[in-house]
Structure 1
Amino acid sequence: MSNKPHDQDRDTIDFGFEQVPKQEKVNRVADVFHSVADKYDVMNDLMSFGIHRIWKKLTIEHCSVRKGQKILDLAGGTGDLTAKFSELVGDDGLVILADINDSMLKVGRDKLRDKGLIKNIEYVQANAEALPFPDNYFDCITISFGLRNVTDKDKALRSMWRVLKPGGRLIVLEFSKPQYSLLNKAYDLYSFHVLPFMGKVVANDSDSYRYLAESIRMHPDQNTLKQMMTDAGFGDVKYYNMTGGIVALHLGFKF
């Protein structure tokens, strides 16, 4: 698992276990999510045995969202968090579902509109490294299972800090490093053998799910990401391991 936070110092970047030119990663990640968008929700349930719903519920609780607030659900994909935020902020609030991938954004928009959620939600195709929003705009930003796919994570974290209001919070929900050796071994077996097979059977795409497994291993571990958030300007940064550290929730504030 990667412990190198300074992606901006390198000419190449990881795409799973492969090193590619930085400008190439964006397009290759886009191809992955164009491929999996239609089956994304189904595969999430299968891959996590439904546990991702508990992880997201805990994420919502740590956001402490109130009526009238502005929320950015970054890399929000098919809108699971956006749907709940929409209820919490009420008619006077605003939730922006942002994703760099137009296929994922379309799936999310259609899903939320089918649920009748249209009043306080906007959709923006955006790169996390250069968010197209004013300074000090959002009360809370979440990025759920998206940061590991960002090319320059340090730049993205600084961009998130810029658009947060003073007193606002960033919540990062992401796969991380399991804390127990036996769990780590079982997780590797599952990720590199079972997961690509499920991707082939359900989504007819084993390669994309092999990349997703590799991208998890290349993502910074808990303490490295905590330091990256601190370096980007966030204060009182802490993290909570879930499911033995398979997933970690990082929380930081803008003071």
Structure 2
Amino acid sequence: MTDNTTHFGYQQVPTADKVKLVRGVFDSVAGRYDLMNDLMSLGVHRLWKRIAISLSLVRSGEHVLDLAGGTGDLTALFEQRVGDSGKVVLADINAEMLKKGRNRMIDKGLAGNVHYAQVNAECLPFADNSFDCVCIGFGLRNVTDKAAALRSMHRVLKPGGRLIVLEFSKPTDQLTEAVYDFYSFNILPKIGKLVANDEASYRYLAESIRMHPDQSTLKQMMQEAGFERCDYFNMTQGIVAVHRGYKI
């Protein structure tokens, strides 16, 4: 990889093109995103998200930024925690995903303390020390410059604030890795073709997971961005991990 290229799944593409390519993937899958999440994970993604919320330590009255918030699963859970005196910003770089999330929150009656922003995680348009918690769920692997994004998240957190990164990661044993690889590259794209009429986007999603930093590498990246007391929690034999770091 050079300074002028980056990975899009297993492909090398011009760095300037990645945002557009990722946008195309999520424009394509937005309409069936929630259904596909349930099918792909057999519903386990809901448990992963609840565990991430618990690890966030978010309390009543706090301000939360839900980055790559998509259709709002995490936002709805955060909203229950912060209550009427708190605030949750549902943010996504993709307008179509953000629209789906906004409509879902309105349908749930969560209009009062949920706000919306179309943002790029690498250069967040919020003031320093704005949030008690920043969460990015299943989105960091799609960011072009992850180090810049982590620095931006650190900047907008208040002292004492927490970063939560919920993301696919590296299985902790060879058997799980072998089964997961077979499923990801042989079954998942076929489900995408059948349900969402889009095999290529789900093949990209499988590839993007493999290109994402493993648990220890991501922990080190968080530390380099200024986070302290960093740790991670494996779930489902490391297929998914929650990383947590603090701004001191």
TM-score (norm 1): 0.96
Q: CA deviation at 1:85?
A: 1.1
Q: Which amino acid aligns with 1:129?
A: E
Task: Specify which of 54, 65, 81 is matched with residue 58 of structure 2.
Answer: 65
1:192-211 correspondence to structure 2 within 5 Å: 192-211=185-204
3-state SS, counterpart of residue 151 of structure 1? coil
Q: What's the counterpart of residue 242 of structure 2?
A: 249
- Structure 1 runs of 4+ with >6 Å offset: none
Task: Specify which of 134, 137, 161 is matched with residue 144 of structure 1.
Answer: 137
Residues 127-186 of structure 1: CA distance to partner in whole angstroms, max 9, x if unpaired? 000001000010001000000000000000000000000000000000000011111111
Residues 78-125 of structure 1: CA distance to partner in whole angstroms, max 9, x if unpaired? 000101111211111110000000000000000111011100000000
Residues 171-215 of structure 1: CA distance to partner in whole angstroms, max 9, x if unpaired? 000000001111111111000010000000000000000000000
3-state SS, counterpart of residue 164 of structure 2? strand
State, as a whole percentage, how many aligned pairs show the same letter: 64
Q: CA deviation at 1:226?
A: 0.3
* Partners of 2:27 and 2:37 in 1: CA distance: 16
Q: Aligned residue pairs: how many?
A: 248
1:155-170 correspondence to structure 2 within 5 Å: 155-170=148-163
* Partners of 2:169 and 2:148 in 1: CA distance: 20
Q: Which amino acid aligns with 1:24?
A: D
3-state SS, counterpart of residue 84 of structure 1? helix
Q: Which amino acid aligns with 2:235?
A: M
Task: Specify which of 199, 219, 228 is matched with residue 226 of structure 1.
Answer: 219
Residue 171 (1) aligns with residue 150 (2): no
1:51-90 correspondence to structure 2 within 5 Å: 51-90=44-83
Q: What's the counterpart of residue 40 of structure 1?
A: 33
Q: Which amino acid aligns with 1:252?
A: G
TM-score (norm 2): 0.99
* Partners of 2:228 and 2:141 in 1: CA distance: 21
Task: Specify which of 176, 191, 195 is matched with residue 184 of structure 2.
Answer: 191
Q: CA deviation at 1:10?
A: 2.4
3-state SS, counterpart of residue 10 of structure 1? coil
3-state SS, counterpart of residue 252 of structure 1? strand
* Partners of 2:244 and 2:79 in 1: CA distance: 21
* Structure 1 residues without counterparts, runs of 5 or longer: 1-6
* Partners of 1:245 and 1:57 in 2: CA distance: 16
Q: What's the counterpart of residue 114 of structure 2?
A: 121
3-state SS, counterpart of residue 73 of structure 1? strand
3-state SS, counterpart of residue 237 of structure 1? strand
Q: What's the counterpart of residue 209 of structure 2?
A: 216
Q: CA deviation at 1:65?
A: 1.1
Q: CA deviation at 1:64?
A: 1.1
Q: What's the counterpart of residue 3 of structure 1?
A: none
* Alpha-carbon RMSD: 0.8
